[in-house]
Structure 1
């Protein structure tokens, strides 16, 4: 079983009883790793998965979870699905994308880290937060009247074309 499969298995098999302890372990590890990365955002984190897990004093499967979570915020994606403890890891973040993704994950304990003010500044953080909120806003399209031409381009009135099927649903 790869570490990625072990990570997925660990997540999927949490119960109400085991989740609090798992979450405490994971979120503390994640906070520690991100704090270190954000202290030096321009540096690339490299090493084997096992070495990096040891550096941050976390289980390799927990470090695999961090890698799974950060992957969409990296300059270059890794093939984490086949990783084991000897696999080479390269983590180089895109700060703006990472901040946005932390907002999307509702991870206040991560997007609230003090290093963000130094890296992005309050104005940029507010702009990214605004972009994130805007992406969640649903905008309804213009309602088509029954007697208007059908938007499919058939030349028929909406009520005699696509509106006929829509009224049946």
Structure 2
């Protein structure tokens, strides 16, 4: 079985005990935070290796490393072949810094986008701008509705229902 399927079956199980899942995710988030803290110390260094080698390097088990690779994949300059990845699959962690920050904001992972290692990468104004840009990208804006008795937006001075709303 591919590692990613195994990870997702375990981490998103519908039948697992809720307490077990909560413990799994609590432990995962702490380990994830530690790995990101290490990666952000040298953000321009592209870490490469097999899944097993990277798991060993960061002190993770294979399943946790698989979850990490799944999470970071959308932020990489070159995505990894995560769908059919095995322990011996060569992967890289060359991430786009701005995209990674925005994806962390989008995921609501304040424990990640709040890491102090970001301070050496982006100044406070840049982090605020990236945060705001990411939040605004998901905001749906509706145009103001024109009601029949409102003045027509064309500026004719007539009510909308007697002007452009006549045929609506």
Q: Smaller-chain TM-score range?
A: 0.7 to 0.9
> Retained in 2: the 8 A contact 1:96–1:120?
no
Structure 2 counterpart of 1:96, from 84, 95, 98: 98
1:14-47 deviation line (CA, Å, top 9, x unaligned)? 4322122101221122111111110100000100
Question: 1:157: which partner in 2?
Answer: 167
Measured in 1, the distance between the counterparts of 2:133 and 2:31 equals 28
How many equivalent pairs are there?
Answer: 153
5+ residue gaps, structure 1, are 151-155, 159-169
Runs of 4+ in 1 over 6 A off after TM superposition: none
Q: Secondary structure at the match of 1:18?
A: helix
Structure 2 counterpart of 1:50, from 32, 49, 52: 52
Q: Secondary structure at the match of 2:18?
A: coil
Measured in 1, the distance between the counterparts of 2:89 and 2:104 equals 26
Measured in 2, the distance between the counterparts of 1:17 and 1:118 equals 37
Q: Secondary structure at the match of 1:47?
A: strand
Question: 2:82: which partner in 1?
Answer: 80
Q: CA deviation at 1:136?
A: 3.2
